[in-house]
């Protein structure tokens, strides 16, 4: 039941005749409904791996199956379709449009998908509930705290009902307390059946996830699952 299946992927960047090997054979399975933190020193290949997982880039060699789609062999158009169907992205910068309300920002991906206004509003309100932000739906981003803006961005990532949420340093601009709140929101999302993979530099933040994968020099150095509590 893997949502992510990668087999011995390699990624090189070529500059003239120089080859920089960034991923040197990474194999990984992530099951549906996992909550995973990806860590590793700067330059270890985290962003490169996240770009591949997010179908923004393809590996130089190896296999990537995303929810049954063989992404490693896709052309750009097909890649974009899979990305739009399967993945919700969250970034360190919240990337909200300043002139739109929180609800309108959240509904925006549905505008692009051609969904009617009535259904857009229903869906946007539903995901605003999932991030506990229903009382701020009509506020503009500059009237919201950083944590609230990130919750809007998470709601926007959820509105298309993706099978995978990918977040690159989602707490990078937030204080510690707010960061933990955001990690708890991702935990709620995971417990509702979604899969969450995020990158963080911070140990305390990564520890909120259920599985911590460490990259070093383009290979997986460790992959540790927390024990699931017996009483839950």
Q: Under a CB-based contact definition with an 8 Å cutoff, are residues 180 and 148 in contact?
A: no
Q: Of 42 and 142, which CB lies nearer to ligand ADP in the complex structure?
A: 42
Q: Is 73 in the site for ligand ADP (CB under 6 A)?
A: no
Q: Is 54 in the site for ligand ADP (CB under 6 A)?
A: no
Instruction: Work out which of 8, 19, 20, 61 binds ligand ADP, going by CB under 6 A.
Output: 20
Structure tokens at 95: 């990337």
Distance of alpha carbon 23 from alpha carbon 25, whole angstroms: 6
Instruction: Work out which of 8, 43, 113, 224 binds ligand ADP, going by CB under 6 A.
Output: 43
Q: Is 22 in the site for ligand ADP (CB under 6 A)?
A: yes
Look at strands 195-199 and 35-39 and give their pairing.
parallel
Distance of alpha carbon 86 from alpha carbon 62, whole angstroms: 21
Q: Is 44 in the site for ligand ADP (CB under 6 A)?
A: yes
CA distances, 214 to each of 36, 102, 123, 162 (Å): 11, 35, 36, 25
Q: Is 232 in the site for ligand ADP (CB under 6 A)?
A: yes
The minimum distance between CB 156 and ligand ADP, in angstroms, equals: 23
For the segment 129-188, give every residue that binds ligand ADP (CB under 6 A): none
Q: Of 13 and 119, which CB lies nearer to ligand ADP in the complex structure?
A: 13
Q: Is 230 in the site for ligand ADP (CB under 6 A)?
A: no
Backbone angles phi, psi at 104, to 5 degrees: -65, -40
The minimum distance between CB 25 and ligand ADP, in angstroms, equals: 15
Q: Is 224 in the site for ligand ADP (CB under 6 A)?
A: no
Q: Of 117 and 226, which CB lies nearer to ligand ADP in the complex structure?
A: 226
Residues forming a β-bridge with 7? 63
Q: Is 226 in the site for ligand ADP (CB under 6 A)?
A: yes
Residue 39 contacts by C-beta under 8 Å, 6 or more apart in sequence?
46, 199, 200, 201, 203, 206, 212, 213, 214, 215
Backbone angles phi, psi at 163, to 5 degrees: -90, -10
Sites of contact with ligand ADP (CB under 6 A): 13, 20, 22, 40, 42-48, 210-211, 225-226, 228-229, 232
């Amino acid at each position: 039941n893997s949502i992510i299946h990668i087999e011995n992927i390699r990624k090189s960047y070529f500059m003239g005749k120089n080859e920089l090997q960034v991923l040197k054979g990474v194999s990984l399975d992530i099951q549906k409904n996992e909550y995973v933190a990806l860590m590793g020193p700067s330059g270890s290949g985290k962003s490169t791996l996240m770009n591949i997982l997010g179908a923004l880039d393809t590996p130089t060699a190896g296999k990537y199956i995303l929810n049954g789609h063989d992404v490693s062999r896709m052309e750009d158009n097909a890649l974009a379709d899979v990305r739009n169907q399967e993945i919700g992205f969250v970034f360190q910068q919240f990337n909200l449009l300043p002139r739109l309300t929180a609800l309108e920002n959240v509904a925006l991906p549905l505008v692009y998908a051609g969904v009617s206004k009535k259904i857009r509003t229903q869906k946007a309100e539903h995901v605003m509930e999932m991030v506990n932000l229903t009382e701020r739906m009509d506020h503009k981003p500059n009237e919201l705290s950083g944590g609230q803006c990130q919750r809007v961005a998470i709601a926007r990532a959820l509105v298309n009902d993706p099978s995978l949420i990918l977040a690159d340093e989602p707490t990078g601009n937030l204080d510690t307390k707010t960061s933990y709140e955001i990690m708890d929101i991702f935990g709620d999302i995971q417990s509702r059946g979604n899969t969450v993979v995020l990158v963080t530099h911070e140990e305390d933040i990564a520890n909120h996830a259920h599985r911590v994968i460490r990259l070093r020099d383009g290979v997986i150095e460790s992959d540790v699952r927390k024990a699931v509590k017996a009483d839950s």
